Structure 1
Amino acid sequence: MASALLPLAPGVHYFPAAVNSVLIEDGRGGALVIDTGLDESHARKLLRAMTDAGLQPTGILNTHSHADHHGGNSFVLKRYPELKIFAPPLEDAVITHPILEPITLFGARPPADLQNKFLLAPPSPARLAPEPGLTRIGGADVELLEVAGHASMMYAVRVGDVLYAADALFGAEALHKHPLTFCADSGLQKEAAARLGELEGVRVVLPGHGDPTPDLAGLVAANLAAYARTTDAVLHAVQAGAATTDELLARVCAALNITMTNPSAVVLNRAVVAAHLTELQELGKVEMSVQDNRLLYRTTE
């Protein structure tokens, strides 16, 4: 049986799933859909739940371009072809041309093993969302907050005392399941989480992956601690001796008890290690060099 929409505040609902979708009513029987999930199955259940609640979609806002947040777009558009899709800068290009995600992760045209729904969503015609701040999308009034780091660009969404953090914050279960929390820029990821923790008047926060909670400060602290653990693990891996990114990935996975079993996990986790290596370089703790035709990282101490 499909899940029903659950309330966050009057006129603000969420559809609970592996990736949460958020619905902001326009006051006329319509609602802005924020993130459409991984695939057609999620989108089909989401639309059914909206119909049961007497709502129709008036627009789509994708908080960022990872496939699990916009993979349902194409199915929603089949039912409602007139809908407009909005996304932050850079992210709109990937949603329109999803092959850019696996190309970026792999560094070239990806092999078939990396062309799956977790890395390659169906294309959908996204346009540039308004700049951060108070705005109206699909008839719904929202506040967009820039929280780049997990992705090259990403928006969190606030409506009154409700905050949808997207993937700037993760629930406890997600942090435990994925110790190497994905990021494009680990430094910005930490800054974004810390900024959200400074918000006042937030009654409930919903992460992109996880349950709603009234404890914004606690959620931020848990995420910052997890991000710091990854940075420490990468630094300790480099301290064990000069190595390539792939060699460091293996060391980090061993330290964090991670077992990778498919190519998608490898390229995703490799990107996380690379992001933290860049941060450590900028902090002056790690340096990069070329030796014997290998790109190596070593500590500066």
Structure 2
Amino acid sequence: MAPELQTLAPGVHFLPGAVNSVVLEDRRGGALLVDTGLDESHARRLLRALEALALTPTGILNTHSHADHHGGNAFILKRFPDLKVFAPPLEEAIIRQPILEPLTLFGARPPRDLQTKFLLAPPSPARLAPEPGLARIGGVDLELIEVAGHASMMFAVRVGEVLYAADALFGPESLEKHPLTFCADSRLQKEAAARLGELEGVRVVLPGHGGPSQDLAGLVAANLAAYGRVTAAVREAVREGAAPVDELLARVCCALGVTMTNAGAVVLNRAVVSAHLTELLERGEVEMGVEGNRLLFHPVAGG
């Protein structure tokens, strides 16, 4: 076995890192790469690991468009320019035009501090992946499972008894390190995690961030509890008094013990609070209005 690759099942490996990359063998000397990591450094490790196993990449599947999951594409495509890159709907457009990620988070052309590799990966020519369900990509038979919520669209990948949950589930250390778990839609994030918990026959689950686990139910429960804590913290922040998103973000960070030290962290966590506010608005637990030229969120009267 290549020194850095770890095996989850015959022909199913992963390269651990800040983001996990999955390697799925096609049994003919090739392998589909699922998520390529943040940057060239991770991509180099991934290609060295493949070379040690005498494997050649047959394709790339990006589970979603966040820079830490497709930032390695560009380096791999320099070595293997004919590789096809697949991603879910909308996500493939962002991978082709990565400026859309920081632009969306900031709401306008992002300043230089928001154009780092953590928010702005090199572009790569992604195309639409097959629809959710059984599929064949890069010569590998797999199942794509829709798990939108963390991103606008995202796929988990199942091969036999192995489930790569992508960022629908996080390892315990990641949940502890990042209490404000990123999401584009907090309601869908919870629903996706719960659906994964209903899968039968999963022997091992690998989150996008964290080590493999044989306790799918326990991992799902930990993630749902973490997501619920964020919703509760946002609800309590609103109950402290009407405020705009940035003030609510400060209140939530105080409650959860989060310290932000750079612009990237602020715009990411601001998006998380906004997502949970939308969920609470839809539940009828908070209200939104414009007062004094400010967009404010406040408790429901009498609630």
For 1:47, the aligned partner's letter is: L
Pairing 1:34-45 to 2, within 5 Å after superposition: 34-45=34-45
In the other structure, the counterpart of 1:11 is 11
1:196 and 2:216 equivalent?
A: no
Check 1:276–1:3 CA distance in 2 against 1; reply closer, same or farther (3 A cut): farther
1:255-280 Cα distance to aligned partner (Å, 9 max, x none): 11111000000000000000000000
- What residue in structure 2 maps to residue 159 of structure 1? 159
Unaligned ranges ≥5, structure 1: none
User: 5 Å matches for 1:36-55?
Assistant: 36-55=36-55
Task: Give the fraction of aligned pairs with identical amino acids, expressed as a percent.
Answer: 77
Structure 1: distance between partners of 2:159 and 2:254: 42
Q: How does 1:66-215 map to 2 (within 5 A)?
A: 66-215=66-215
* Cα distance in 1 for residues equivalent to 2:4 and 2:177: 25
2 CA distance for matches of 1:290 and 1:268?
Answer: 24
Structure-2 residue corresponding to 1:264 = 264
CA distance in 2, matches of 1:54, 1:34: 18
**Cα offsets for 1:188-240 (capped at 9, x unmatched):** 00000000000000000000000001000000000000000000000000000
Deviations 1:26-55 (A, max 9, x none): 110000000000000000011001100111
The residue correspondences of 1:247-258 to structure 2 (distance < 5 A) are 247-258=247-258
The DSSP-based 3-state class of the residue aligned with 1:165 is: strand
Deviation track 1:154-177 (CA, whole Å, cap 9, x = no partner) reads 000000000000000000000000
Q: Could you say what the CA RMSD is over the residues aligned between the two structures, in angstroms?
A: 0.7
Amino acid across the alignment from 1:177: K
| C-alpha contact 1:134 1:143 (8 A) present in aligned 2 | yes
In structure 2, distance between residues paired with 1:242 and 1:264:
25
Give 1:74 deviation, angstroms. Answer: 0.2
Residue identity in the other structure for 1:181: T
Which position in structure 1 is the counterpart of 2:32? Answer: 32
Partner amino acid, structure 2, of 1:184: A
Report the AA paired with residue 180 of structure 2. Answer: L
> Distance in 2 between the 1:24 and 1:259 partners?
38
Task: Give, as a single letter, the amino acid of the residue that structure 1 aligns with 2:262.
Answer: N
Quote the residue 1:230 is aligned against.
230
Q: Deviation at 1:3?
A: 5.1
Deviation at 1:4, TM superposition (A): 1.7
TM-score (normalizing by structure 1): 0.99
Residue 49 of structure 1 aligns to a residue in which SS? helix
Give the secondary structure class of the aligned counterpart of 1:8: strand
Counterpart-to-counterpart distance in 1, 2:43 and 2:211: 19
Q: Helix, strand or coil: the match of 1:229?
A: helix
Q: What is the CA deviation profile of residues 122-176 of structure 1, one whole-angstrom value per residue up to 9, with x for unaligned ones? A: 0000000000000100000110000000000000000000000000000000000
Cα distance between partner residues in 1 of 2:215 and 2:53: 28
- The 8 Å contact of residues 184 and 272 in structure 1, kept in 2 or not, is answered as yes
Q: Unaligned 5+ residue runs, structure 2?
A: none
